[in-house]
Amino acid sequence: MPTYKDMVQPVRASEAEMRKIHIEPVPDDQKCEKAIQYLDEIRKKYRSFVMAMESCVKCGACAENCHTYLGTKDPRNIPTNRAELIRKIYKRYFTLEGRWFGKLVGAEDISLDVIEEWYSYFYQCSQCRRCAMACPFGIDTCEVTFIGRQILHWLGIVPKLHMGVGAAMEKVGNHTGLPKPGIVDTLEFLSEEIMDEFGVEVNFPVDKPNSDILYIPSSADYLLNPYTLMGAGMYFTYIGANWTIPSTVSEAGNFGLLFDQYFTQRHNVTRLLDAAQNLGIKKIVWGECGHGWRAAKMYIPSLADRPVNWPITHIHDEVAYHIRTNQLKLDPNKVDHPTTLHDPCNYTRACDLQENLRTVIKACVADFREMYPNKERTFCCGGGSAILFDDPEMYQRRIQLSAKKAELVRATGVGKDGNGYLCAPCSICKAQLYPMVEEHELGVEVKGLIDLVGKALVWK
Amino acid sequence: MASINIAGREVELDEDGFMVNPDDWTEDCAKYFSSGEGISELTEDHWKVIHYLRDYYKQFQIAPMIRKLCKETGCSLKYIYELFPSGPAKGSCKLAGLPKPTGCV
């Protein structure tokens, strides 16, 4: 387990692995100089970053709004202090008072120790943006840690988990490394499962030309979340959609957003638009993935390098529309479990999905109980931005990072009799919460939202 | 990356202790990994899961959906956790010499 001067750090990609994602790692004796050069380039480009560097008054409003700080009680995990790890360098090299008065004004020389601090603390931030809501100046620490992680990437410092995902995406078009035969085999298996359990014939067309809808599931659904894929297949079949799943980009996530917003993030977008064009589709519908939907909804046009000719919507928006227009018959009594909803941070603080999530869940579940704070004030699951590290010390961190969420789930009472559902409609949330509901003994099972749609559908 | 000697053969492991090259796998590898995974003895059911994973991987270059693994081997998820305490993805895949699953898993 890697630690560096009492700091926990995720296992990092080797130099050979970094080369697989097109980065030549910077040697240690050049890292400091390069870091300053990249920081200089970035500050000249991003006004939001300069604002974050210049305007914090250390009021502390962010502290109690950060689940990472609440769970770890490590002062460097207070959002303003986390940003300070880069702000002190910014001050030293790019402000007059920092150059003249150094430590007296909180400026510090860059060093390898500082770079190691960045690696430790920027990868404990879930980039959930709850602190941004609390900040009276509107400072978004997520934007700061995005930039910190970007500089680390260019220096050659990336967690092995994120590197592996970037490499798999480029190799086969999804994060888990699923080649087309594996996709087809799993979907055929799920067709049989749907027939066995629900008595309905559902096919999952792969790469079908001239489909109306291109459905982009999260690739984690193929390994871990069968009911999310089954629910999507049942929903599209129910509404009589002409739909398909592309094998070349079977991935709703985009880890580029989380460590490399240049090549890696753009690569996913390029693959998606190529698939849309080649298959002649009319609309792109996104699967259950929080950060991926944020990346798609907000940033596809700016990374596309070409006109984007297709509307891009989220499956929750689609289902909510069909519910509101009475085109889906759902029986909420079919889901006979007390259920609460975890609002994924990216859906509700970046994508305006909060009302449609409720339209859907209330139509699918008889005993629905809100968890508070909710909607845009939701607390992150603790895995946000894919800090799903599982080496022993980082795993212990994940338990701490999910402690706030666990407390809120417990307060809903859905797990009191051990038969509750915790609906967490995002792949990262699911991957984090599957083990965490056990660690915190919450008495609930984790479900996706489309899982519940599939279960509640009433077939003619 | 490290290289270790398992029953007289050099086997390369990654930082998480997973095999770098699944083709180098032998039953001795599974036996070697089992002690680190808190498994005292490999039973018939362990081998059933391991061989299913290996066959599936050979055909599809990926681990199967966990639900499929359970169905095809007749082992419930709970039982798989009893067999492999760190779970199907990280425990049984490691013993079967498959790469560590990546992504949101």
Contacts of residue B101 in chain A, CB cutoff 8 Å? 176, 223
The verdict on a CB contact (< 8 Å) between B104 and A179 is: no
Question: Quick one: DSSP state of residue B98?
Answer: P
Q: What is the CA radius of gyration of chain A?
A: 22
Residue B90: pLDDT over 90 = no
Sign of the C-alpha dihedral, residues B71, B76, B77, B83? Answer: negative
Residue A44 pLDDT: 97
Q: What is the pTM of this model?
A: 0.96
| A401 vs A73: CA distance, rounded Å | 10
Q: How high is the mean pLDDT of chain A?
A: 97
Distance in Å, alpha carbon of B93 to nearest chain A alpha carbon: 13
| A120 vs A240: CA distance, rounded Å | 49
Its ipTM equals: 0.95
pLDDT, tens digit, 9 for 90 and up, residues A382-415: 999 999 999 889 999 999 999 999 999 999 999 9
pLDDT, tens digit, 9 for 90 and up, residues A295-318: 999 999 999 999 999 999 999 999
pLDDT, tens digit, 9 for 90 and up, residues A238-249: 999 999 999 999
Nearest CA in chain B to A220: B104
| A21 vs A156: CA distance, rounded Å | 10
| A317 vs A441: CA distance, rounded Å | 32
Domains along chain B with CATH numbers = 2-95 (1.10.10.370)
Tell me the CATH class for A24-157. Answer: mainly alpha
Distance in Å, alpha carbon of A166 to nearest chain B alpha carbon: 9
Residue A423: pLDDT over 60 = yes
Residue B87: pLDDT over 70 = yes
Contacts of residue A185 in chain B, CB cutoff 8 Å? 60, 64
Q: Where are the domains of chain A?
A: 24-157, 164-324, 332-456
Q: Give the pair of three-digit tokens for residue B55.
A: 């066959």
Which residues 59-118 of chain A have a CB within 8 Å of chain B? none
pLDDT, tens digit, 9 for 90 and up, residues A103-125: 999 999 999 999 999 999 999 99
Residue A2: pLDDT over 80 = no
* Topology at the third CATH level for domain A332-456: Rossmann fold (3.40.50)
What residues are paired with B3 via a beta bridge? B12
Percentage of chain A beyond pLDDT 70 is: 100
pLDDT, tens digit, 9 for 90 and up, residues A163-221: 999 999 999 999 999 999 999 999 999 999 999 999 999 999 999 999 999 999 999 99
Q: Which of A175, A181, A390 faces B103 most closely, judged by CB atoms?
A: A175
Contacts of residue B16 in chain A, CB cutoff 8 Å? 11, 160, 391
Sorted by sequence, the CB contacts under 8 Å of residue B55 that are 6+ apart come out as none
pLDDT, tens digit, 9 for 90 and up, residues A59-102: 999 999 999 999 999 999 999 999 999 999 999 999 999 999 99
Contact predicate A285/A213, CB 8 Å: yes
Residue A3: pLDDT over 80 = no
Q: How high is the mean pLDDT of chain B?
A: 94
Contacts of residue B69 in chain A, CB cutoff 8 Å? none
State yes or no: is B104 an active-site residue: yes
The verdict on a CB contact (< 8 Å) between A223 and B105 is: yes
Residue A27: asked if its preceding bond is cis (omega within 30°), the reply is no
The verdict on a CB contact (< 8 Å) between A430 and B67 is: no
Residue A6 pLDDT: 85
Q: What CATH code is assigned to A164-324?
A: 1.20.1050
Distance in Å, alpha carbon of A186 to nearest chain B alpha carbon: 7
